[in-house]
């Protein structure tokens, strides 16, 4: 059997019959999903999804952060409604994390995660290293653009029935 350089190269650019870029984005998708699930359980253990834990954290960002005044006003609104905002954030974090890990509705979920992580990044200006959240923010945007759920995700099964859907 003879092997040409192009067939070797073609074989080297796939992982389980998927392009390498798709496999790479899948790793990013699952990693960010796992990060969100992990953060959910960490915050749950710290009591940050209760009004008594959530409001002081948000006030820390307001007092110590360098976010624009309009953003600090939004944070103050969230802190003043911590009884609703804290559990809403908990549901958002665990939902985004699980959906990214299983690869379901990846494009819109990753875009929502991009907006959510972007909002956290703005909140943390001046209180944390600027790259701490910026890298996951941009990585999850890439996941949304690259349709990472179509590789090793439930979206792959859904795409077989409706390949032109913007949801996966």
**Residues of the domain holding 71:** 19-161
- Tell whether 168 is covered by a domain: no
Q: Is residue 64 part of a domain?
A: yes
Structural domain contains residue 167: no
Question: Is 101 part of a structural domain of the chain?
Answer: yes
pLDDT at 9: 44
Q: Provide the 10 A C-beta neighbour count for residue 161.
A: 7
Domains in the chain, number: 1
Supply angle C-alpha 120, 125, 130, rounded to 5: 90
pTM: 0.85
Each residue of 38-93: pLDDT tens digit?
999 999 999 999 999 999 999 999 999 999 999 999 999 999 999 999 999 999 99
Tell me, yes or no, whether 1 lies in a domain. Answer: no
Is the confidence at residue 12, as pLDDT, over 80? no
Tell me if 7 is assigned to some domain: no
- Examine residue 149 and state whether it is found in any structural domain, yes or no: yes
């Amino acid at each position: 059997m003879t092997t040409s350089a192009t067939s070797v190269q073609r074989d080297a650019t796939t992982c389980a019959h998927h392009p390498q870029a798709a496999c790479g984005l899948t790793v990013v998708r699952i990693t960010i999903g796992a990060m969100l699930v992990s953060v959910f359980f960490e915050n749950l253990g710290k009591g940050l999804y209760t009004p008594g834990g959530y409001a002081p954290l948000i006030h820390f960002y307001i007092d110590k952060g360098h976010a624009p005044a309009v953003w600090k006003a939004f944070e103050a609104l969230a802190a003043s409604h911590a009884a609703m905002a804290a559990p809403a954030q908990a549901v958002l974090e665990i939902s985004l994390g699980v959906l990214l890990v299983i690869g379901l509705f990846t494009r819109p979920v990753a875009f929502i995660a991009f907006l959510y992580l972007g909002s956290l990044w703005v909140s943390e200006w001046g209180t944390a290293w600027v790259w701490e959240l910026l890298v996951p923010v941009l990585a999850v945007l890439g996941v949304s653009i690259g349709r990472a759920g179509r590789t090793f995700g439930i979206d792959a099964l859904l795409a077989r029935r409706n390949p032109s859907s913007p949801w996966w």
